[in-house]
Structure 1
């Protein structure tokens, strides 16, 4: 041991039972750990760690807090000592819980399960939080803990946890903004969340203000779509098809003949995108009409965009063949659909399509909120 520190002096302090002597002993030993000169060899370091562990049980909270603050970023102390500090009163535990790199996932999980939300909050703001630790914080922590975890950009969140938190954000407003600000939130979850937020905002505005609900829906939908589009950086097959169709429409080359040609060539993606553009509906709604064989919906859309009966007949038969194959028995079905087409009034069809033009997720979010009431 370095001669600058008297071994006899340390022994004397250890033998003295007064509070001041214990505090002085703790400070001297702590100084040894933190000295840049490396005063302790391995054997001495083990011995000093053992002494500090024993002293911790007999010194007041103020001293333990000071020790935790000084040793929070040290990598020389024993895991036994750092876990004792981590599981002490929160005033003592906070520095090591927030900063100590010696605490492993299993140590943090043990603290999360057995200590307070204040301890969990300190863990949630650590420089790095693994998926394992995040899962435990979400399971055991209160809303303050979870919000702090979401706000921590260095906290890893598993897919299951992210799905759960997005679901929870429907009823816990304070989770919404930090979740939307996370870089690891998938586009699908971003899309879902924005519509939930919009639907909740709509309900609040309608309840508190005298406002035209149609105008409100238009404003909320436009604002939400604009934000969502900024998040949609994917360029999958459907996205490219939609871009192609929009370009054709801007050049005034998009018409019903293009839809028919696409169907004849079995380019269903292109036909769906084109029909969506012509009707002002989302591709999800058009896909639903086609895949679920919602023939009435197809008739309504055709009436709303002004298709002649012969045009509707051609499109219907091509979609029927795409769904059922070239040998589909179509005569009786076609006659039924043409009769339906004749009964639908254009104004009623346009009103129905106007409603459908509300984003599918927006409608879904409103229905979920109604169910929750």
Structure 2
């Protein structure tokens, strides 16, 4: 004997539905919700189909607060029909939210339809679901606002394709709020993390250097790409930098280009020569070295110095000389120096080399440098 035979007659439910009073509609919702939420096995297949049919016909004709209460109570029900759950998901956000956030009956096609045709509030509810497929994720990124996308990135159970991650990393250059959530994701490739290094905050830079590992095969590829780039780089700058690069190239060929030479050049205030020398040793474009010199925190300079094997004492001298050059006076030991030296000791040489090699490999960094925000 089914639930309807035991106490909830179909005729009684229809009579309640026909009654326009608030009390009758409230009683209708209570009865139907009670049937759906009753212990397993109470509704047989015929009764379940009947209840879904009744609700599908009446749902749009009952007051909003009734639909809202019904959606709240049935948000996790697995007895709803796909048509009914779709109707509730497309309703006003006050009604749709619990269904969009919790109901597992919603298919990807239904979710994508909501994403394309409803509001950002609907999209936000979908972004925090227990699981979000890559197809749904792509639609959210395409149609959602920044709040939606940030919630999606923060959702560890959302599947984000590598192509979408690449797009979000590029967007994070101008949207700080995406940066930390992206670096927190377990599926973010190290290559993309290193790409973010140039525009994230000081604290997040430390995370990139300390936490992200890189596959040895990718490192080999990076070295190969950097070598090819070095051989093809024949365009030289005019003036002082042109002469400086020619000199350091000759010194390098003679085996005399060392960290000591760079420090001597800095002490003699031959900044272009020091930049050219560090550029040659690290295999980086001079624009990147200039950027590292101008950066107040000194973190990029620390990574570059670590990658070429500078001792802590050599880096201390280099950092103080760079500070002195920027300030036009004598550099003093400060909390900034203490902080950067602490970081220098923490940086793994392998990670520093990995970062530099990726900067060598990705030629897009050269263009990115021109529009990056100044380091704070």
Short-chain TM bin: 0.5 to 0.7
1:83 is matched with 86
Which of 169, 174, 178 is equivalent to 1:175? Answer: 178
**Conservation of the 8 A alpha-carbon contact between 2:245 and 2:276:** no
Task: Call closer, same or farther: CA 1:119–1:196 in 2, change over 3 Å.
Answer: same
- 1:290 partnered with 2:237: no
Task: Call closer, same or farther: CA 1:289–1:349 in 2, change over 3 Å.
Answer: farther
1:104 is matched with 107
Could you say what secondary structure the match of 2:106 adopts? coil
**Conservation of the 8 A alpha-carbon contact between 2:96 and 2:122:** yes
Matched pairs, number: 273
Distance in 2 (CA, whole Å) between partners of 1:238 and 1:146 is 29
Listed one character per residue, the Cα deviations across residues 138-173 of structure 1 (whole Å, up to 9, x for unaligned) are: 111111111111111111111221111111111112
Task: Call closer, same or farther: CA 1:368–1:130 in 2, change over 3 Å.
Answer: same
In structure 1, list runs of 5 or more residues that go unmatched.
199-219, 243-268, 273-282, 313-344
Task: Call closer, same or farther: CA 1:24–1:351 in 2, change over 3 Å.
Answer: closer
1:228 is matched with 208
Q: TM-score, normalised by structure 1?
A: 0.64
Structure 1 residue 352: deviation in Å? 2.2
What pairs with 1:200-349 in structure 2 (closer than 5 Å)? 226-236=206-216, 284=226, 288-292=229-233, 299-303=246-250, 308=254, 349=273
- 1:164 partnered with 2:167: yes
1:20 is matched with 23
Structure 1 residue 14: deviation in Å? 3.9
**Conservation of the 8 A alpha-carbon contact between 2:25 and 2:66:** no
Distance in 2 (CA, whole Å) between partners of 1:95 and 1:132 is 21
Which of 41, 49, 54 is equivalent to 2:57? Answer: 54
1:153 is matched with 156
Could you say what secondary structure the match of 1:57 adopts? helix
Q: For the aligned residues, what is the CA RMSD?
A: 3.3
2:193 is matched with 190
Task: Call closer, same or farther: CA 1:159–1:62 in 2, change over 3 Å.
Answer: same
Structure 1 residue 235: deviation in Å? 4.7
**Conservation of the 8 A alpha-carbon contact between 1:120 and 1:141:** yes
Distance in 1 (CA, whole Å) between partners of 2:218 and 2:192 is 19
100-109 or 165-174, larger mean C-alpha shift: 165-174
Structure 1 residue 226: deviation in Å? 4.8
Q: TM-score, normalised by structure 2?
A: 0.63
Structure 1 residue 38: deviation in Å? 2.6
Listed one character per residue, the Cα deviations across residues 64-109 of structure 1 (whole Å, up to 9, x for unaligned) are: 1111111111111111111111011100000000000000100000
* Larger relative contact order (Cα-Cα within 8 Å, sequence gap ≥ 6): 2
Could you say what secondary structure the match of 1:47 adopts? helix
